Chain A
Amino acid sequence: AQSVSQHNHHVILSEAASLELGCNYSYGGTVNLFWYVQYPGQHLQLLLKYFSGDPLVKGIKGFEAEFIKSKFSFNLRKPSVQWSDTAEYFCAVNTLYNQGGKLIFGQGTELSVKP
């Protein structure tokens, strides 16, 4: 069965530190990849996505992610985090492209940024 694994359950950083959140998936076929962010008490919002083309994808709020097919990875990065980035981050994979796009989520990584 397809699965998505996020390496870190909880990450604590100081403002201006660099961020990298790991994501690996298990599926050998074509995938679409997503990162969603969930601010405290809110719903999931799309941060960025990869469908094809340049494996380095830029999203909103200075986030980017790199798809490395050989490693089945799609890690999220930000060079300098802010207190407002405190949230939970979910990596997700879409493997049923032709049937409406069922998303499989990782377990989430909670990011706490200290001011």
Chain B
Amino acid sequence: DAGVIQSPRHEVTEMGQEVTLRCKPISGHNSLFWYRQTMMRGLELLIYFNNNVPIDDSGMPEDRFSAKMPNASFSTLKIQPSEPRDSAVYFCASSSVSSGNTIYFGEGSWLTVV
């Protein structure tokens, strides 16, 4: 299995630009999670989907952040406009009942906003 695939792996962008992070969950997994990791705040759950439907987006910091899951094999996390405080590692993860609800993480997208 290819695991959770994220792109881009690294991105440096200027403040005010739009950033789109992409995720392909493990095939057959029906839950998808977006986490953000920073030194100051640790790991934060931003949003998660179950069967492509957003279940809990209470962790999304503000309206500049949005996430979509148009189908079972693809999700995006968008930041518009980006700000320096958005600099972090963004992890996508997926799970399913068949995996015992064990969550498997992608390798992360390292975002730097200058």
Chief secondary structure at chain B's binding surface: strand
Known: A51-B100, A105-B43, A108-B43. A100 touches B48 (CB 8 A): yes
Q: Are B95 and A100 in contact (CB under 8 A)?
A: yes
Q: Smallest CB-CB separation from B104: which chain A residue?
A: A46
Chief secondary structure at chain A's binding surface: strand
Known: A43-B91, A44-B91, A108-B43. A100 touches B101 (CB 8 A): yes
How many chain B residues touch A (CB < 8 A): the figure is: 24
- For residue B11, CB closer than 8 A to chain A, the reply is no
How many chain A residues touch B (CB < 8 A): the figure is: 22
> Nearest Cβ distance between residue A68 and chain B, in whole angstroms?
21
Mark each residue of chain A from 75 to 94: 1 if its CB lies under 8 Å from any CB of chain B, else 0. 00000000000000010001
25 A-B residue pairings within 8 Å (CB atoms): A32-B101, A34-B102, A34-B103, A36-B105, A42-B107, A43-B106, A43-B107, A43-B108, A44-B105, A45-B105, A46-B102, A94-B101, A97-B101, A99-B50, A99-B55, A100-B50, A100-B55, A100-B101, A101-B101, A101-B103, A102-B33, A102-B48, A102-B55, A103-B33, A108-B43
